[in-house]
Structure 1
């Protein structure tokens, strides 16, 4: 608990932003990381957008975050597939963020006997595409999903997300997907490798016990739970593990970054 924090990983939604609005202290926290010269990455399970798009959206909210400081489940998934099978192929259900990430690592996108079926986030899940995924998995394609989140936020309420559609495909095929995004520590370790940081001196900041905090704990990081997102203080008692600290928001971390 007294070890010095030299690098930071932080969730995006519920920590820095909510919908398209910056949360209190978010810009100051990122600015403090820059000023102190800390290595850091902002993590998100959302696989829809490229880092360029996410950076532009954050900039419009007043948060100066370069694309290279963002690590998405799409990027982590692409790296995982490259490590598992360099030059492999995949049938993909997802948006530009996932397609661009897979293309960057040399993965061939195809519906003809792919090595993998990769399921990501989209606002236009197609019954035909899901049916194709089911049939390809039944023929032997490995089933990968970017993240296990069953719902995603919108202005009108929750939307079904990757985890919910993955459950449908799992039921139809009897094949469980491998989820790369949080809480899988694979995503955390890939982020650590990207910024050349050691777990012993890195902290994870998140708003969810079941993804951010548990992933940080399993990867050996110090964990900060902020109450600016989906978790209330009383919710913590439902879990068999605890974060290192519970804070109201990233406002409480600005002075501690240096």
Structure 2
């Protein structure tokens, strides 16, 4: 085992829950920062830029630099830059995604784009979805930031990227390539951004189907927290296991260098 670990962490269910900090989260982040332990907070949410998310986390009492936040929008932009530099895309999404694509030199257009890129938004437009379907039919490659079918709100579940991607896929017969968790591509891009290796980095998440699976497939040790989606019984439903199961991130405070 490494003498000290670096961390990839999910945000919702690990650090915050419905914009409220999870007990122990601020202490854990402060401990990592104080001990110069490298970490990135990962989220499949592509709506916000890292700067936006930093401000939202700061309002909950979690203080971290925007460079410590890695989104599916950033991972998608990195992927497209590696596949087709300076390309073009028709985008359904919000500032987190459009900003990430602009920053890699992509042109956003609805005329003969290289890609249709689907991300998260709270205002999915039937007109935009129809346009996406026609562009995919005409030959644009279909990319989606993440496969999450629903997202949370105070009123209940909201349709998310995965659900809208299924609509477009059903209409066109073309399945999207999902970049976000559980695709290990997102984990590897985060490791490169962090400057660490899978052998000395572990993944903390609250979902077996995305966080733990992605960490496992990227070769990381994994910790499942029970402060979000999953319960002990949930973990038993899957044919793979996390390295460790804990109640919440508070269990790691004071033990971040050697959690095993």
Short-chain TM bin: over 0.9
Q: How does 1:62-81 map to 2 (within 5 A)?
A: 62-81=61-80
Is the CA contact 1:36–1:257 (under 8 Å) kept in the aligned structure 2? no
Per-residue CA distance 1:180-200 (angstroms, 9 max, x = gap):
000000000000000110100
Q: Deviations over 1:138-186 (max 9, x none)?
A: 0000000000000000011110000000000000000000000000000
User: Which residue in the other structure is 2:179 paired with?
Assistant: 180
- Distance in 1, Cα, partners of 2:230 & 2:216: 17
Query: Runs of 4 or more off by more than 4 Å in structure 1?
Result: none
For the Cα contact (< 8 Å) 1:91–1:116, is it kept in 2?
A: yes
Structure 1 regions of 5+ residues with no counterpart?
none
In 2 relative to 1, CA 5–219 (structure 1 residues): closer, same or farther, beyond 3 Å? farther
SS state at 2:67 partner: helix
Would you say 1:197 and 2:206 are equivalent positions? no
C-alpha separation in 2, matches of 1:139 and 1:234: 46
Mapped to 1, the partners of 2:48 and 2:3 lie a distance apart of: 33
Checking the alignment, whether the CA contact within 8 Å between 1:5 and 1:203 is kept in structure 2 is no
Q: CA deviation at 1:94?
A: 0.1
Query: Which secondary structure state, in structure 1, belongs to the residue aligned with residue 86 of structure 2?
Result: coil
Matches within 5 A, 1:92-241: 92-241=91-240
Distance 1:67 1:125 in 2: 27
> Counterparts of 1:94 and 1:184 in 2: how far apart (Å)?
20
- Paired residues in the alignment total 257
Give the alignment's TM-score, normalised by structure 1. Answer: 0.98
What secondary structure, in the 3-state scheme, does the structure 1 residue paired with 2:13 have?
A: coil
CA RMSD of aligned residues (A): 0.7
In structure 2, C-alpha distance between the alignment counterparts of 1:51 and 1:141, rounded to whole Å: 28
Q: Report the 3-state secondary structure (helix = DSSP H, G, I; strand = E; otherwise coil) of the residue aligned with 1:122.
A: coil
Q: Could you say which residue in structure 1 is the equivalent of 2:15? A: 16
